[in-house]
Amino acid sequence: MSGERAAQLEYSEFQAAMLDEEKRRRKAAKIIAVLAHFLGRQDAPAGEVLAGLTVADVGCSAGFIADELAVAGAERTFGLDIDVPGLRKAAGRFGERVRFVCADGEALPFPDGSVDVLVFNHIYEHVVDPDAVVRDMRRVLSDDGVLYLGLGNRLGVVEPHYKLPFLSYLPPAAADRYVRAFGRADNYYERFRTRAGLRRMLSGFHVWDYTFPVLASPERFAGSELFPGTVGRAAKGTLEKAPRAALRALLPVVPTYLWVASKSPRRPLGGPLPQPPEPVRTP
């Protein structure tokens, strides 16, 4: 049914990927490596990368990424979600290191300017009003704070949740029929945006794009699983040497963007890369 959307409660109960600990911890390693480069802390010991910082994972579910943020040395770590079963699992395992809170992203339980690092990883397509969530994240982020974003692209050819080509291209009613025809779901809930739409969503921020830096240098960003085998090594080599203009031409159809945003005009402090991060021009 493609009518008004309600919040996705208990997401981990019907999305097994949220409970895949190995995969979630690999994602966390990539997130932490990107943050370390942006903050100029890539040479810090593993347990001190986020030292002295207050960190929050918005959309934490079962808490694996939040736990890794705590292990990376965050002074205080929070995990927030409306997924109550996921939060119970998280608190049972990681509650000594992370404070887990049932909270809506549109009304985060923090004072203005009180969080140094926010993580919002592949969440926006699941929330009812992502613009409202982004506004509240901007409210709670400190003036020098950073926001890590993993963002799916509507124009990515294969939809990541249901593995159906061009699903996210379709209007809601047609997408509902598509997932039902293949027995994947009763309706298609997710709402992706194009790169232009994501730029508009982040219009209150200064944004740097780490998509190609991570893809071209997976070993530096704990992302070696992105390039398995011989074909992967060849792809990595091609990306390392690709002209920047050619990569920019691919940006509209890249399946996932990895962005780091800030309220102030910060620049990445990490060392040189074969494909350096570039600023994203927001409206």
123 and 173 both lie in a single domain = no
Instruction: Answer whether residue 2 is part of any domain.
Output: no
Q: Of the candidates 43, 19, 49, which has an alpha carbon nearest to the alpha carbon of residue 31?
A: 49
- Return the DSSP state at 125: G
Confidence of residue 177 (pLDDT cuts 50, 70, 90): very high
Helix (H) or strand (E) holding 269: none
Model confidence pLDDT, tens digit, residues 5-59: 777 766 666 677 777 888 899 999 999 999 999 999 999 999 999 999 999 999 9
Q: What are phi and psi of 151, to 5 degrees?
A: -130, 115
Confidence of residue 2 (pLDDT cuts 50, 70, 90): very low
Model confidence pLDDT, tens digit, residues 112-161: 999 999 999 999 999 999 999 999 999 999 999 999 999 999 999 999 99
Instruction: Answer whether residue 4 is part of any domain.
Output: no
More confident residue, 217 or 140: 140
Instruction: Answer whether residue 1 is part of any domain.
Output: no
Confidence of residue 230 (pLDDT cuts 50, 70, 90): very low
The CATH number assigned to the domain holding 27 equals 3.40.50.150
119 and 176 both lie in a single domain = no
Which of 45-54, 91-100, 210-219 comes out lowest in average pLDDT? 210-219
267 and 183 both lie in a single domain = no
252 and 171 both lie in a single domain = no
What are the structure tokens assigned to 32, written together?
Answer: 């932490």
What is the rounded average pLDDT of the residues 231-256?
Answer: 78
Number of neighbouring beta carbons within 10 Å of residue 160: 18
Instruction: Answer whether residue 235 is part of any domain.
Output: yes
201 and 179 both lie in a single domain = no
Give the separation between CA 215 and CA 201, rounded to whole angstroms: 24
pTM here is: 0.93
Q: Mean pLDDT across the chain, nearest whole number?
A: 91
What is the rounded average pLDDT of the residues 84-107?
Answer: 95
How far from 68 is each of 100, 102, 146, 215, CA to CA, in Å? 14, 19, 17, 22
Instruction: Answer whether residue 251 is part of any domain.
Output: yes
Instruction: Answer whether residue 210 is part of any domain.
Output: yes
The DSSP code sequence of 192-213 is: -B-HHHHHHHTTTSEEEE-HHH
48 and 23 both lie in a single domain = yes
Give the separation between CA 80 and CA 108, rounded to whole angstroms: 8
Residue ranges with strand state E in the chain: 54-58, 76-81, 99-102, 115-121, 141-152, 206-209, 256-262, 278-280
Instruction: Answer whether residue 40 is part of any domain.
Output: yes
Model confidence pLDDT, tens digit, residues 46-80: 999 999 999 999 999 999 999 999 999 999 999 99
**Does residue 229 have a pLDDT over 80?**
no
Residue 129, judged by CB atoms within 10 A of its CB (0-12, 13-18, 19+), counts as: middle
Last residue of a domain, one of 190, 212, 239: 190
180 and 43 both lie in a single domain = no
**Does residue 235 have a pLDDT over 70?**
no
171 and 262 both lie in a single domain = no
144 and 202 both lie in a single domain = yes
| Parent domain of 168 | 159-190
Confidence of residue 283 (pLDDT cuts 50, 70, 90): confident
User: Is the separation of the CB atoms in 164 and 179 below 8 Å?
Assistant: yes
**Does residue 242 have a pLDDT over 90?**
no
184 and 60 both lie in a single domain = no
More confident residue, 231 or 267: 267
Residue 3, judged by CB atoms within 10 A of its CB (0-12, 13-18, 19+), counts as: exposed
Q: What domain count does the chain have?
A: 2
Last residue of a domain, one of 171, 190, 209: 190
Give the separation between CA 130 and CA 121, rounded to whole angstroms: 12
Residue 111, judged by CB atoms within 10 A of its CB (0-12, 13-18, 19+), counts as: exposed
**Does residue 227 have a pLDDT over 70?**
no
Instruction: Answer whether residue 6 is part of any domain.
Output: no
More confident residue, 93 or 15: 93
- Amino acid 1: pLDDT: 36
- Amino acid 233: pLDDT: 56
102 and 171 both lie in a single domain = no
Give the separation between CA 269 and CA 265, rounded to whole angstroms: 12
45 and 147 both lie in a single domain = yes
